[in-house]
Amino acid sequence: MTQTSVRPDAAGSANTPASATEPAARKLAGRGWVSRPSEAFTAGELTRRLIGSIRSWRDYPPSLRLWFWLVPALTAAVGGVLRFTRLEVPGSLVFDETYYVKDAYSYLVSGYERSWPDKANDSFNAGNPGVLLASPEYVVHPPVGKWMIAGGMWLFGPDNPLGWRFSAALAGTVSIALVALIAQKLFGSLILGAAAGLLLAVDGHHLVMSRTSLLDIFLMFWILAAFGALLMDRDDGRRRLAVRLARLAADSPTGRPSQLQLLSGPWLGIRWWRVLAGVCLGLAVGTKWSALFFVAGFGLLTVFWDLSARRTAGIRGWISAGVIKDGLVAFLSIVPVAALTYAASWTGWFRSTDAYYRQWATTNPNADWGWLPNSLRSLAHYHLEAYKFHQGLSSEHPYEASAWSWLVMGRPTSFYYESPKQGTPGCDVPSCTSAILSVGNPLIWWGAAISLVVLLFWWAGRRDWRAGAVLAAVGSGYLPWFLYPERTMFFFYAVSFEPFLILALVYGLGLVLGRRTDPLWRRRSGLYGVVLFLVGAVLLSAFFYPIWTAEVIPYQDWRFRMWMPSWI
């Protein structure tokens, strides 16, 4: 008898139908995880239980394999056009570009931050960055993001806005492709992958951050890359577990591993995707220290995935085995690798002789810590002083926003605002406005906030690991900010976890889309609903686009887009 079985997932997608000629007794296998005891520890059965039928792009039907790569590329192309068009506008440093762009130029010149004279912005905006002073400058953020900005300046020159902002636009564009690939991997659906990429491409908050050289877009990029690497590691680890358990079973006369072998299961060796995640997390921490919370959150997440894998595979001591054979190895694969990567990002500081605090240890000998190289002691002191600065950062700012308001965009940050006079290019009315406001697309952000509640129920009630993974990522980036209520915070910090808000929203769209086993009318109505939402999001982004990209528009048109008084 030929049987086709489909195991729908909880996010509205399903694995590709797998057809095989099987005896009637195998029909139950298509309805769940039931299988014959004699087949339970074969490589194929273990892999099916642990991963499912879709394990890579090669498992898609040949007609869909091209789309697996084409969908992320097309959504990234849309995002790239929005990000690179008029990237040189405004033609001056905006908001905190005054710090990071000038620091990046210092890196190009000397490998560390140097001081600037008064009114240095005027010289920089005029295309004359060479007024840099010889004295070092004290800064409180690590180097990776500034090195990435410096890369664009190296390619296109430090004397023009394209050079300043190229790297930010590139990181934002590539992150769109990443989120589309991750959504396809999570949900097994090309439609939902396309939705994820498109929503991130047209969202205004991500767009503004991609067109402005602040550090947070690079922080987001490395965090998203680390999550994608861990997602690949999840399948890789489970595949290794299936193969090694099957090998033990094949060597046993009973066709299954012995009780002793099932007590803890096999070691899985070095998992290179996890090492890559450690490198990405090290680069994220090397951009902003807030990435440390993602290191902790992602580290626990990957261990929980391994615990679940051993339990599903039939390992009796899955908790102790997961902690010892997976958890310890995961720690060594992520934390030391991230630490070494982070330390390497300070190479320019190490190679200098007069960077800030570079000679601190020489002038401050210490009998207890004298065994450490002076360079490490100096760097440790630098970090201690920077930590004190962050802890005491509580000065008032007109655009500070409590973390409670982020998901509803209660107080977005104004990066740029000018009032061109009538007769200037683009202004044909008495009062005009040119502005950059880091407000997101309301339909996307408010929909994502509602979707987080849905994910909580699906994770708690259905034990869907994908809902848990997205919630863990959002929580790692969002919840720690509530620990510092007195600290000055800004809405644009939320870009670090915005891709995971998009994934939460897409999860909800998957529920609207329905399962492949649903009746045709249900699937069709679900598809119409998803398409209607996406069209609405695109049209709303077109409406807000002028205040994201500093277009000159009549003042009344600008006010028409200020949906909340707190946006002004």
Query: In angstroms, rounded to a whole number, what is the distance separating the alpha carbons of residues 73 and 259?
Result: 49
Does residue 349 carry a pLDDT above 60? yes
- Identify the pLDDT of residue 13: 38
Q: How many CB atoms lie within 10 A of CB 408?
A: 13
Query: In angstroms, rounded to a whole number, what is the distance separating the alpha carbons of residues 33 and 312?
Result: 10
Does residue 513 carry a pLDDT above 50? yes
As a whole number, mean pLDDT of residues 446-460 equals 96
Q: To 10 degrees, the CA torsion angle through 74, 78, 83, 85?
A: 120
Q: Summarize pLDDT for 230-256 with one digit per residue, the tens.
A: 999 999 999 999 999 999 988 888 888
What percent helix, strand, coil does the chain show, rounded to 5?
A: 65, 5, 30
pLDDT confidence bin for 65, thresholds 50/70/90: confident
Strands 18-21 and 2-5: antiparallel
Query: In angstroms, rounded to a whole number, what is the distance separating the alpha carbons of residues 351 and 358?
Result: 10
Q: Which amino acid is at 413?
A: T
By the 10 Å C-beta count (0-12 exposed, 13-18 middle, 19+ buried), 183 is classed as buried
Does residue 90 carry a pLDDT above 90? yes
Residue 436, strand partner residues? 416
Q: To 10 degrees, the CA torsion angle through 169, 170, 171, 177?
A: 110
As a whole number, mean pLDDT of residues 380-396 equals 85
DSSP string of 119-173, one letter each residue: THHHHHHTT-GGG--SSB---SS-SHHHHHHHHHHHHH-TTSHHHHHHHHHHHHH
* 161 conformational bin, left if phi > 0, alpha if psi -120 to 50, beta if neither: alpha
Do the beta carbons of residue 161 and residue 140 sit within 8 Å?
A: no
Report, in angstroms and rounded to the nearest whole number, the Rg of the chain calculated over CA atoms. Answer: 26
Q: Summarize pLDDT for 154-166 with one digit per residue, the tens.
A: 999 999 999 999 9
Q: How far is CA 82 from the centre of its chain?
A: 20
Query: In angstroms, rounded to a whole number, what is the distance separating the alpha carbons of residues 489 and 290?
Result: 12
Residue 417, strand partner residues? 435
Q: How far is CA 465 from the centre of its chain?
A: 18
As a whole number, mean pLDDT of residues 204-217 equals 98
- Identify the pLDDT of residue 23: 38
- Identify the pLDDT of residue 55: 63
pLDDT confidence bin for 35, thresholds 50/70/90: low
Q: Retrieve residue 494's tokens.
A: 């939320």
As a whole number, mean pLDDT of residues 386-405 equals 87
Does residue 37 carry a pLDDT above 80? no
Sheet holding 414-418, edge to edge: 414-418, 432-437, 552-554
Residues 139, 144, 147, 149: is their CA dihedral positive or negative?
negative
Can you state the angle between helices 161-187 and 216-250, rounded to 10 degrees? Answer: 30
DSSP string of 414-440, one letter each residue: EEEEE-PPTTSTT--SS-EEEEEE---
Do the beta carbons of residue 424 and residue 418 sit within 8 Å?
A: no
Q: Retrieve residue 512's tokens.
A: 């609207």
- Mean of all residue pLDDT scores within the chain: 91
Residue from 333, 335, 331, 308 nearest 241 by CA? 308
- Identify the pLDDT of residue 16: 36
- Identify the pLDDT of residue 539: 98
Do the beta carbons of residue 496 and residue 290 sit within 8 Å?
A: yes
Residues 445, 447, 450, 456: is their CA dihedral positive or negative?
negative
C-alpha count within 13 angstroms, C-beta hemisphere, residue 273: 17
As a whole number, mean pLDDT of residues 376-396 equals 87
- Identify the pLDDT of residue 63: 73
Do the beta carbons of residue 222 and residue 268 sit within 8 Å?
A: no
Q: How far is CA 140 from the centre of its chain?
A: 23
Residue 333: partners with Cβ closer than 8 Å, 6 or more residues away: 270, 271, 274, 275, 277, 278
- Identify the pLDDT of residue 252: 85
Query: In angstroms, rounded to a whole number, what is the distance separating the alpha carbons of residues 513 and 493?
Result: 31
Which helix (H) or strand (E) segment is 447 a member of? helix 442-462
Does residue 376 carry a pLDDT above 50? yes
SS (H, E, C) 94-126: CCCHHHHHHHHHHHHHHCCCECCCCCHHHHHHC
- Identify the pLDDT of residue 54: 66
Q: How many CB atoms lie within 10 A of CB 56?
A: 13
Which helix (H) or strand (E) segment is 18 a member of? strand 18-21
Do the beta carbons of residue 140 and residue 390 sit within 8 Å?
A: yes
Do the beta carbons of residue 4 and residue 19 sit within 8 Å?
A: yes
- Identify the pLDDT of residue 22: 36
Query: In angstroms, rounded to a whole number, what is the distance separating the alpha carbons of residues 482 and 350?
Result: 35
